[in-house]
Amino acid sequence: MKEKEKMKQGLLYDANYDDELLKDRISCKEQCFQYNQLRPSQIEEQEQLIRSLFKKTGNSFCITAPFWCDYGYHIEIGENFCSNHNCVILDGAKVTFGDNVFIGPNCVFSTAGHPLDVEQRNQGLEYAYPISVGNNVWIGMGVLVLPGVKIGNNSIIGAGSVVTKDIPEGVIAVGNPCRILRKVTDEDKKKYWK
């Protein structure tokens, strides 16, 4: 079985020394580099590059440079996706974002993890588990989302959180490790309308 197939199946795979995966990552990094060199006014060129890089995009999205990912072909974004500066998506496995997802600056979504066993790590082995973010989710600045995490619709992840486990829909979750603070309520609609 090829390393790329192992990666897609969530098995340990050779991420560091496999020629096919190295080639894919270099190609992706070249596209990210090109994207990050575009002027902010070059919106059409930015959109074309992201559409060629990602597996799926909505009609309307905004990704503020700099942006980096590993492969691109595992990333799907819904309508009105918006990420601020320094978003990093390590997409060894599928990373799916629903509609109306807002991501603050300096956030990382990492499907990749490494074995606890030192010999396996030193062989360049890693695993990749999918990440899923629902519709209408707000991810605060500096959030880290780890392999295999699912974040439910209409939830908010507070700034600086490290999301190690699934977060249900309709909640505010914060901290390291990230935990549920409370449900989003109707009172929250009135908070900023003073």
pLDDT (tens digit, 9 = 90+) per residue, 117-137?
999 999 989 999 999 999 999
From CA 190, how far away is CA 132, in angstroms rounded? 29
Contacts of 72 (CB under 8 A, 6+ apart): 28, 31, 32, 53, 54, 55, 91
Q: In the chain, pLDDT over 90 holds for what percent of residues?
A: 92
Q: Residue 193 above 80 pLDDT?
A: no
As a whole number, the mean pLDDT across the chain is 96
Distances (CA, A) of 78 to 34, 61, 64, 175: 23, 8, 16, 26
Q: What are the pLDDT digits (tens) for 37-91?
A: 999 999 999 999 999 999 999 999 999 999 999 999 999 999 999 999 999 999 9
- The whole-number pLDDT of residue 194 equals 65
Domain residue limits, the chain: 3-190
- The whole-number pLDDT of residue 189 equals 80
From CA 32, how far away is CA 93, in angstroms rounded? 18
B/e letters for 15-45, b = 16+ CB within 10 Å, e = fewer, are: beebeebeebbeebeebbeebeeeeeeeeee
Q: In the chain, pLDDT over 70 holds for what percent of residues?
A: 99
- Any idea which architecture 3-190 has in CATH? 3 Solenoid (2.160)
* Residue 43, both tokens: 């919106």
Is 74 catalytic? The answer is: no
My answer on whether omega of the bond before 168 falls inside 30° of 0, hence cis, is no
Residue with tokens 């190609």: 27
Q: Which listed residue (114, 169, 175, 184) is catalytic?
A: 114
CB atoms within 10 A of CB 95: 26
